[in-house]
Structure formats: C-alpha cells, structure tokens
Structure 1
C-alpha cells in the first residue's frame, strides 16, 4: 500500500503557501503509475498555484516492489542531515521495525540510497538481476584507478543499465553538485561475470566491504577520506 499525506508547502520563489499531497511510501505493484512518476522525476513534484514554479520536494520515500521483493529507502542527504546521521537514524528505524515483526518472521532486506538518481539506478540494477555489491566493487575499482579524473568528492559514478550491452557496462559520471551528466566509461561484462563467480565462492569478502544497507563505492571512499 502506498502512503501519502497532505503537507503545507511554501513556494521557494514567491513564498505562497499551499497544501499539497506528498508520498512517504509507494507500492509500485498496486500503483504502477507512481513508478512512472518517479522515473519521470514527477514524484512529490509541486507546481505553485500562484507563480507556476515547478519544484520537487525531496523527502524520505520508501519504494516497494513486492513482486521482486524489493524494498529501498530513499533518505535525501541535506545540510541538516549528513551521511553519518542518515545511517544512524536508518539503523534505529530498522531496530523498531524488527521489534514490530512477528517472532517467526525475518525483517525484509532494505536498501538505503541518498539521492533520487541512486534510487533509479538501483531499481534498474535489481530489475536486471545484477549483483549490487559486485557492481559497486566495479565502481570502487574504477574510482581508485582514476582518482585524478574521477574524484568521489565531486562525481557520482552511475551504472546506465539501459545503455549497457551484452558485452559492456556503460557507466556515466555525474557532478554531485550540479547533477550534470558527463563522460561515459565502458567496462567489460566478462570481468563482471568473473567477479560474480568470486562472489558465489566467497561472498563474505564483498559483504565485509559493503555491509549495507547503503551499498555504495562512493560513500566508502568518502568515509575512508574522512578517517585519514
């Protein structure tokens, strides 16, 4: 079931307040049009009744696809809540959810993302049956081999599933500040498949590197820099 509520929002341009409907959780099985809205950057988008400005309200959203057993929590990183605070709050939420579950049921696996583009990327990735931890390991390798040109502080590295081929993955660099898309990078699928075989033999190595719920090569590199 999708969950929405009415919220009073002030237009950032003209200051006009208005009541709008915003979604806290979407179930794309029962309401597939909400997935379309997300993919078209229209979910939780508001058009000011006075000046006509169209703007998106970034707020936590739980994405659910029961058929694919997919549960993803998008918690936008803001000036008031950084990555560390988001992870801490998310862990507390999981603990509360676990306490509410029946004793004979396990808490479903929940992924955490901190931007809309990462949410869309993860949806495409899981729908394509790709191993998220292996893909992030590939990203980690690309980052560490090209730190001079792909600084994780400045760029996200996103997998473009739609433009990838049977022979190559297509990754695109996105400026984390401007959101502009830049250079494309290709990575052979054969190497990915070899890593998947390694994962099947020894998943602990990948799990230790990306323990979740936020499985992200960029976040791992940023955390390493903060510790130095």
Structure 2
C-alpha cells in the first residue's frame, strides 16, 4: 500500500504555505502511476498557488516494486554523509520486512528483491529506470568509474552526481546533475558496448564489485566518501 501524510510546504520564492500529500511509502505494483511519475520527474512536486514556483519535496520514502525486483529506502541528499549508519538501519528494516525476521510469505517476496539505499530523486529515478530496463545497477556504477578515466573533463565535486537518465539499444544517456537542485550541468551518451565489456569480463572488476556491494548503498560515491560522518 502507498501511504501519504498531509504536510505543509513553503514556497522558497514568496513564502506562501501550501498543503501537500507527502509520500511515506510507494507500492509501485499497486500504483504503477507513481512509478511513472518518478520516472517523469513529476513525483512529489507542487506549484505555488501565489507565484507559480514549482517545488519538490525532499524524499523520505520507502519504495516497493516486486515486478522489477526492487526495494528502495530513499533519503534526502543532505544525509549522504551518514550513509554507513543508514545502511545498517535500512538493512535491518529490510530484514524485518522481507528477510529472516519476516514471515515465510514475505521472505519469498524478499528473495527476488534488491534492497537499495538512495539519496535524492536523481539517484532514486536511476535505480528504478535501470530495474525497468533489466540492467545491473552494480555494473552501471563500475561503468561510471570507467567513464571517469575516459572523459576529457568531469565536473565531479560534492553534491554533483553522474546518473543514467535513458537507455537505448546502442547507448546510455548520462547527465552530471546537482543532486539537491536537480539542475543538469552536462549530458553525454555512452556506448552500450562499454557496459557490455564489463559484464562480459567481470574478473578485473571483482574487487570493485565487492566494495560497491558491501552494503545497500550501491553507488560510486561510497568509494570516495570513505567513512563519511560516521568516522567522527
């Protein structure tokens, strides 16, 4: 079941307060329209009735999609520095809901689900897109590392991410995006054969894959975030 709670959102442009139904959980199998809204970048957006400013709520939501084998715990981008603690929390939540602590019927569902932790809407949209296209999100993260070696320049800095936004037979459409604002800085296409080279010859990538899959936060950002704020 998809759950929503009434909340107020304040317009950053004019300060007007508007009531809004904030999502707490999304069941995409029962509400495929909500899956599509996330893919269309329209989910959890509201237009200010006073000035017309378009706003989007920060994500704090659980997402279930049995059809495409995906379970997401989504947090605001500002919490990415706490990813290690959140990985433990999220893994525990998944275990209670679909793992060893769950009922036998729930465990059957959990066996086909990939549990993932994401921060922000661009990362969340990407995970859902890749699932619907039947692509391995771990291989995609390894491809990003490969691309960082190949690109003549990369606007890689805190708060900027490399995301897949579309998939065709021959290519992956990629963007550099500011996570919090969702402003696209640059875009380019990557040949799908680069991804195929990784999936066809996984051995050289075995160590990287192990690092990426050492928790439910499967994202190259964990490789340079280190211990995050948890190290303090």
TM range (shorter): 0.7 to 0.9
* TM-score (norm: length of structure 1): 0.78
Measured after TM superposition, the shift of residue 206 of structure 1 is 4.5
The superposition leaves residues 99-142 of structure 1 with CA deviations (integer Å, 9 ceiling, x where unpaired) of 46336537543112212122222212121111211111111121
Matching of residues 147-166 of structure 1 within 5 Å: 149-153=153-157, 155-162=160-167, 164-166=168-170
Measured in 2, the distance between the counterparts of 1:170 and 1:135 equals 12
Matching of residues 25-44 of structure 1 within 5 Å: 25-44=25-44
The superposition leaves residues 25-58 of structure 1 with CA deviations (integer Å, 9 ceiling, x where unpaired) of 1112211221232233222222334444331111
Which one of 142, 145, 149 corresponds to residue 137 of structure 1?
142
* TM-score (norm: length of structure 2): 0.77
- The 1:194/1:16 distance shift into structure 2, 3 A limit, reads closer
Measured in 2, the distance between the counterparts of 1:195 and 1:141 equals 9
Please, which runs of 5 or more residues in structure 1 have no aligned partner?
none
Which one of 111, 115, 118 corresponds to residue 110 of structure 1?
115
Q: Is the 8 A contact 2:20 2:46 kept in 1?
A: yes
- The 1:53/1:215 distance shift into structure 2, 3 A limit, reads same
* Higher RCO (C-alpha under 8 Å, 6+ residues apart): 2
Please state whether the residue corresponding to 1:213 is helix, strand or coil.
Answer: coil
Please, which runs of 5 or more residues in structure 2 have no aligned partner?
none
Please state whether the residue corresponding to 1:55 is helix, strand or coil.
Answer: strand
- The 1:45/1:224 distance shift into structure 2, 3 A limit, reads same
Q: Is the 8 A contact 2:120 2:180 kept in 1?
A: no
Measured after TM superposition, the shift of residue 67 of structure 1 is 1.3
Please state whether the residue corresponding to 2:157 is helix, strand or coil.
Answer: coil
Question: How many residues are matched?
Answer: 219
Measured in 1, the distance between the counterparts of 2:13 and 2:4 equals 25
Alignment RMSD? 3.2
Q: Is the 8 A contact 2:46 2:55 kept in 1?
A: yes
Q: Is the 8 A contact 1:152 1:218 kept in 2?
A: no
